[in-house]
Chains A and B, each alone.
Chain A
Amino acid sequence: MMKSLLDSMLAYWILLLAVSLGVAALIYLIWLKDALI
């Protein structure tokens, strides 16, 4: 299943973007939330 998902460039693009935005949200919550509010 994972291989067939990765076989589509668009699906891989979306998966990677979702992971990146998740990591960015974590960084926001850990370091920046208090500074920005």
Chain B
Amino acid sequence: MFDFMIAGIEAPILLLVLTGMTVGMVGGFIGVGGGYMVTPALIVFGFPGYMAAGIDVTHIAGKSVVATIRHRQLGNIDWVLGLAMVGGTMMGVEMGVRLLNYTKDLGLSGVALLAASVAIMIGLFLYTQIETHRATKRITELAKEGKTVGRELKVSRIPIFFQSIALKPIIRCHTARLVVSMWVVVIVGIATGILAGFFGVGGGFIRVPALVYVVGTSTHIAVGTDLLEIVVSGGYGALRQYMSGNVDMIAVFFMIIGAMFGAQFGSIATSFVRGPAIRFILSYSLVLATVGAFLRLVYFLTGQQHTFINFFAVVFTLGEMIFLCLFILSLVWFSVRHRHGKWVPGWIPALVVVKE
């Protein structure tokens, strides 16, 4: 146990380091900050809510720098796309916060807002699952026909529609290999920013599917480019939280130690898998985070009297992070086995990259 004097609590250092490492790995792999996992976990460890949010955003800013550098080395960042989108995102976040305050003034209940966020998460989960299952099926069919399959395959037709909008200025994203109207990118940034600001999250889990299914980038480029955005938005958020006195830098330091290793591993792990594997993990993280939030809501709505609900909520909050890490680790392990011609489960070859 370590005495965090600024936060005014005692918490185990090892848990903070492990949390940083697991969320770093997941964030580096699916291109999210991971605030929807870290903040509840820090509250579980005993940090006050405002302090948990401050520590969370500060550690995300640091971790995203590490992951972004690694993704840049892997060629997964499209700077033109990222910089075009970041302006729209910042504008959208501001609009989302104002919209939230407006709905509060209208007297809309917190439960209604939570129901809306759950509906969005479940909708994203279902669409990603269905599309990714179709993509892996198509990869398996192409492999059986003896055709070479690259690291990305999508069956969604939505990007074709958005790329056909010829509203000037048109931007050419060389790394992402796409030509798209800047208005599409900015509006996607604003829309995902509004959702992020409205629901009080970073928004990576909305932006990555939006980049893939609306703008039409590959999943790897979406992950790298989104992390670049998180460096900007997370850095701004960290500065604001620090100025408000919501950050315990000692706790951030311990989390960053774990996150440095986790984020690097998660980023490198993307080079072992195809796009659908990243989209699978992203959809799992969405549904698990939703279940965790639902359990915590039930605990509070029932007057915090049923300790077994709290037990399930805590176990689920920690379990989802462990699950996602184990899944990423096992994908890398199966990928290496597959490259060496050893036995792997039947669903693995469609998800991993085999270097000739």
Listed in ascending order, the chain A residues whose CB lies under 8 Å from chain B are 3, 6-9, 12-13, 16-17, 19-21, 23-25, 27-28, 31-32, 35-37
Known: A20-B323, A23-B322, A37-B307. A28 touches B347 (CB 8 A): no
A12 to B280, CA, bound (A): 13
A32 to B22, CA, bound (A): 18
Q: Note all chain A residues with C-beta closer than 8 A to B343.
A: 3
Q: Is there contact, CB below 8 Å, between A16 and B45?
A: no
A35 to B320, CA, bound (A): 21
Q: Is there contact, CB below 8 Å, between B46 and A35?
A: yes
Tell me whether chain B's interface is mostly helix, strand or loop, or mixed: helix
- Which one of B25-33, B106-114, B310-318 contacts A? B310-318
Q: Is there contact, CB below 8 Å, between A9 and B314?
A: no
Q: Is there contact, CB below 8 Å, between A36 and B314?
A: yes
Q: Give 10 closest A-B pairs by Cβ, nearest first.
A: A24-B319, A20-B323, A24-B318, A20-B322, A21-B319, A9-B347, A6-B345, A20-B319, A24-B315, A7-B346
User: Which B312-356 residues have a C-beta within 8 angstroms of A?
Assistant: 314-320, 322-323, 326-327, 330, 343, 345-347
Q: Note all chain A residues with C-beta closer than 8 A to B307.
A: 37
Q: Note all chain A residues with C-beta closer than 8 A to B345.
A: 3, 6-9, 12
Q: Is B200 an interface residue (CB 8 A)?
A: no
Q: Is there contact, CB below 8 Å, between B315 and A21?
A: yes
Q: Is B249 an interface residue (CB 8 A)?
A: no
Q: Is B124 an interface residue (CB 8 A)?
A: no
Interface centre among B12, B45, B46, B323 (most CB of A within 10 A): B323
Q: Note all chain A residues with C-beta closer than 8 A to B322.
A: 20, 23-24
Q: Note all chain B residues with C-beta closer than 8 A to A6.
A: 345
A8 to B45, CA, bound (A): 36
Interface size class of B (residues with CB under 8 A): 20 to 34
Closest chain A residue, CB of each to CB of B45 = A32
Q: Note all chain B residues with C-beta closer than 8 A to A25.
A: 315, 319
A12 to B314, CA, bound (A): 23
A19 to B44, CA, bound (A): 20
A3 to B11, CA, bound (A): 41
B351 → chain A closest CB, angstroms? 9
Q: Note all chain B residues with C-beta closer than 8 A to A8.
A: 345, 347
Known: A27-B15, A32-B45. A20 touches B314 (CB 8 A): no
A7 to B348, CA, bound (A): 9
A31 to B16, CA, bound (A): 12
A11 to B45, CA, bound (A): 32
Q: Note all chain B residues with C-beta closer than 8 A to A27.
A: 15, 318
Beyond A3-B343, A21-B315, A32-B314, 4 additional contacts (C-beta under 8 Å) are A6-B345, A21-B323, A23-B322, A24-B318
A18 → chain B closest CB, angstroms? 9
A7 → chain B closest CB, angstroms? 5
Q: Is there contact, CB below 8 Å, between A7 and B319?
A: no
Q: Note all chain A residues with C-beta closer than 8 A to B46.
A: 35
Q: Is there contact, CB below 8 Å, between B319 and A31?
A: no
B220 → chain A closest CB, angstroms? 21
Closest chain A residue, CB of each to CB of B44 = A32
Q: Is there contact, CB below 8 Å, between B319 and A23?
A: yes
17 A-B pairs in the complex with CB atoms less than 8 angstroms apart? A7-B345, A7-B346, A7-B347, A8-B345, A8-B347, A9-B345, A12-B345, A16-B323, A17-B319, A19-B326, A21-B316, A23-B319, A24-B314, A25-B319, A28-B311, A32-B314, A37-B307
A24 → chain B closest CB, angstroms? 4
